[in-house]
């Protein structure tokens, strides 16, 4: 089992440029505890996310992965500790400030969360609603918004589907639309919660490679929750792992293998 100081891991295990190695983290979590009633879901979690890196979040079902992601946008109650995301202190934000924070965080979900009857282009445009102004909330988008949405669709490889209803696309294509929609927000951080769980292996590889390319080219840290170890080992710069709410692994992907990650899936008390 590999346990490292998280801040040190983030600074010394980068696989991107020297410039990015010197960057300050866009996400900083220290001694995070999340509890619901008497049940502690996360206990003493530390995490840094740096510009340009793709970090895989691993752990068995119930380990706290989704709760950790929700805590980064204020959707999970923070019992103690500190969480800073894109310059925001998540533990002390008011409702309006939370909306601003969430506009800075692009999210990609397992079930895509597209509007099936709307066109691919319109689905991407919804990513701009937070800053589009009242007139756009009733359906009008500027030509600049439309140009950007088309550019993003081209970037993710499905510009030719711009006028197609989202429901007519394959799963892999729908996830690419969801990624373009997240980029439409001009996010500073991307959270992807099991984004390839419903895709076949070939499509999963292509979607994760796209996310890693975005992280590297745009300098946007991507935290991606996964449950398939080979995918995490193939498509991440760094891996962090939770077991029973505690972070027990934080290391460069190049220094890990399936055997090193096996403790994440041990039952409570195993090996003690």
Least confidently predicted of 27-41, 62-76, 148-162, 257-271: 257-271
Which of 157, 182, 193 has the alpha carbon at shortest distance from 172?
Answer: 157
pTM: 0.87
The answer on pLDDT for 7 being more than 70 is: no
Least confidently predicted of 107-116, 130-139, 197-206, 247-256: 130-139
Q: How far apart are CA 49 and CA 6, in angstroms?
A: 10
The answer on pLDDT for 138 being more than 90 is: no
Tell me what the mean pLDDT of segment 49-74 comes to: 96
| Number of Cβ within a 10 Å radius of residue 257 | 11
Q: Is pLDDT larger for residue 118 or for residue 6?
A: 118
Name the one residue in this structure whose structure tokens are 């701009």. 128
Residue 82 backbone phi and psi in degrees, to 5: -130, 145
The answer on pLDDT for 8 being more than 60 is: no
pLDDT, one tens digit per residue, over 36-52 is: 988 999 999 999 999 99
Which of 232, 234, 269, 235 has the alpha carbon at shortest distance from 249?
Answer: 232
Tell me what the mean pLDDT of segment 145-152 comes to: 95
pLDDT, one tens digit per residue, over 156-168 is: 999 999 999 999 9
Residue 155 backbone phi and psi in degrees, to 5: -65, -40
> Is the domain covering 1-12+23-104+188-267 a CATH 3.40.50.300 domain?
yes
| pLDDT computed for residue 168 by the predictor | 97
Q: What is the mean pLDDT of the chain?
A: 88
Residues of the chain with CATH 3.40.50.300: 1-12+23-104+188-267
Confidence of residue 129 (pLDDT cuts 50, 70, 90): confident
Least confidently predicted of 9-23, 27-41, 87-101, 236-250: 9-23
| pLDDT computed for residue 137 by the predictor | 47
Helix axes 171-184, 201-218, angle to 10 degrees: 20
Residue 168 backbone phi and psi in degrees, to 5: -85, -5
The answer on pLDDT for 264 being more than 80 is: yes
């Amino acid at each position: 089992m590999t346990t490292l100081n998280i801040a040190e891991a983030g600074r010394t295990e980068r696989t991107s440029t020297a410039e990015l190695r010197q960057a300050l983290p866009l996400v900083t979590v220290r001694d995070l505890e999340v509890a619901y009633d008497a049940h502690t879901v996360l206990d003493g979690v530390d995490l840094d996310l740096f510009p340009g890196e793709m970090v895989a979040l691993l752990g068995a079902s119930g380990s706290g992965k989704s709760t950790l992601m929700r805590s980064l946008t204020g959707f999970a109650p923070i019992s103690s500790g500190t969480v800073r995301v894109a310059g925001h202190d998540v533990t002390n934000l008011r409702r309006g400030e939370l909306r601003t924070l969430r506009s800075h965080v692009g999210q990609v979900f397992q079930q895509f969360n597209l509007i099936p009857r709307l066109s691919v282009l319109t689905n991407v445009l919804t990513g701009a609603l937070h800053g589009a102004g009242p007139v756009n909330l009733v359906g009008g988008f500027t030509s600049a918004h439309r140009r950007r949405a088309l550019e993003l669709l081209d970037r993710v490889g499905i510009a030719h589907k711009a006028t197609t209803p989202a429901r007519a696309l394959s799963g892999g294509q729908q996830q690419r639309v969801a990624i373009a929609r997240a980029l439409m927000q001009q996010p500073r951080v991307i959270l992807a919660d099991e984004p390839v769980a419903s895709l076949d292996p070939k499509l999963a590889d292509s979607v994760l490679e796209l996310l890693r390319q975005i992280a590297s080219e745009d300098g946007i840290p991507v935290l991606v929750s996964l449950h398939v170890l080979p995918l995490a080992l193939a498509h991440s710069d760094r891996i962090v792992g939770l077991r029973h709410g505690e972070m027990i692994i934080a290391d460069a992907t190049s220094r890990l293998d399936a055997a090193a990650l096996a403790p994440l899936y041990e039952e409570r008390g195993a090996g003690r």
